[in-house]
Structure 1
Amino acid sequence: MICGITGTPGTGKSAVSEVLRSRGHQVIRQNDTMEPYLTGTDEDRDARIVDADAWADEYTPTAPFIEGHLVHLLACDRVVVLRCRPDRLRARLEGRGYSAGKIRENCEAEAMDLILSEAYDIHGEEKLLEIDTTDRSPEDCADLIEGFVSGTVPPSCGSIDWSAMLGDLL
């Protein structure tokens, strides 16, 4: 079984993945698989340009878990979408030194459920687990993910709505 752990940058993917690794799970980092698919850099957005369609079509995960903001595009058996309230996400991204434009772009994507919507369109709700990481520890998130993969935590998505915060982000 392949479980993708995805979400907007800053939602906790790396932290949760480290907990899963510490528990003995093999977790692949999306960024470690993308070199052949890099096509350039977008200086205005401070981002690498990736041929995500080619990557999703050609790359097959080789471990039970893969984490990254594009892994929901892969053919996974389960997908976990980590979420974070946009105002808290802003603080996390500021702490990373992201540019104002990149922070705004990611917070808007989070408020609009962008990754969750894409994951839902590709996988359907029966394969999705949405986790609000705003006030939850990486250990608690890892517990939920392990339960989701084992079948003791049921699929769940669409219960988080931060769309009202969108106006504050513009």
Structure 2
Amino acid sequence: MMIALTGTPGTGKTSVAMELKKRGIPVTHVSDTTGPYTLGEDKERDTRIIDDERWALEFTPVEGIIEGHMAHYLQADRIVILRCRPDILKERLSGRGYSEEKIQENVESEILDVALAEAFDIHGRDILYEIDTTGMDIITCADKVEEIVRGNAEPEIGIVDWLIPYGDMI
């Protein structure tokens, strides 16, 4: 079974994946699988350009977690979308040294539910799980994801709406 762990950069995907790996759950990072699909660099946005459609089409499913902000493009058995309050996300991305432009782009993506909307468009709602990581420690978040991995949680989306309180950040 392959579980996609996705969300806007800074929502906790890598930290949660590392904790799940400590628990014995296999983890594959999207960034380790996209090399052959890299088309170049966008220096202005400080990001790699990936042929994500070809990558998703040719991806060989893995057992366990596939972690990364494009994981929801894959044909996974379950998709977990991590969310984070925009002001906290902004602090996290700033702490990583992201440019103001890149921070703004990612905060806007989080406010507008981009990962959730894309996952919904591709898969419908029956395999989607949304977790608000704001104020949640890594252990608790990993516990929630592990419940999903083990099949002990029902799909749930629509629990987060940042648009009203954070609309002025866009």
What TM-score bracket applies, with the shorter chain setting the length?
A: over 0.9
Bigger shift: 155-164 or 59-68? 59-68
Deviation at 1:121, TM superposition (A): 1.3
1:128-167 alignment runs, 5 A limit: 128-167=128-167
Partner of 2:82 in structure 1? 82
Distance 1:166 1:85 in 2: 9
Partner of 1:110 in structure 2? 110
Deviation at 1:62, TM superposition (A): 2.1
Amino acid at match of 2:97: G
Bigger shift: 145-154 or 28-37? 145-154
Partner of 1:67 in structure 2? 67
Note the aligned Cα RMSD (angstroms).
1.0
Deviation at 1:151, TM superposition (A): 2.1
TM-score, length-normalised on structure 1?
0.97
Q: Deviations along 1:98-155, whole A, 9 cap, x unmatched?
A: 0000000000000000000111111221101100001111111111111112221111
Distance 1:165 1:46 in 2: 28
Distance 1:158 1:164 in 2: 14
Distance 1:131 1:26 in 2: 20
Corresponding pairs, count: 170
Partner of 1:45 in structure 2? 45
Deviation at 1:63, TM superposition (A): 2.6
Partner of 2:8 in structure 1? 8
Secondary structure of the structure 2 residue equivalent to 1:126: coil
Asked if 2 retains the 8 angstrom alpha-carbon contact of 1:80 and 1:131, the reply is yes
1:24-43 alignment runs, 5 A limit: 24-43=24-43
TM-score, length-normalised on structure 2?
0.97
Q: Deviations along 1:42-76, whole A, 9 cap, x unmatched?
A: 11111110000000000123231100000100000
Task: Kindly report structure 1 stretches of 4+ aligned residues shifted beyond 2 Å.
Answer: 165-168
Bigger shift: 103-112 or 114-123? 114-123
Asked if 2 retains the 8 angstrom alpha-carbon contact of 1:111 and 1:165, the reply is no
* Percentage of matched positions with identical amino acids: 50
Asked if 2 retains the 8 angstrom alpha-carbon contact of 1:86 and 1:165, the reply is no
Structure 1 gaps, min length 5 = none
Structure 2 gaps, min length 5 = none
Amino acid at match of 1:65: I
Bigger shift: 159-168 or 127-136? 159-168
Secondary structure of the structure 2 residue equivalent to 1:135: coil
Distance 1:48 1:136 in 2: 30
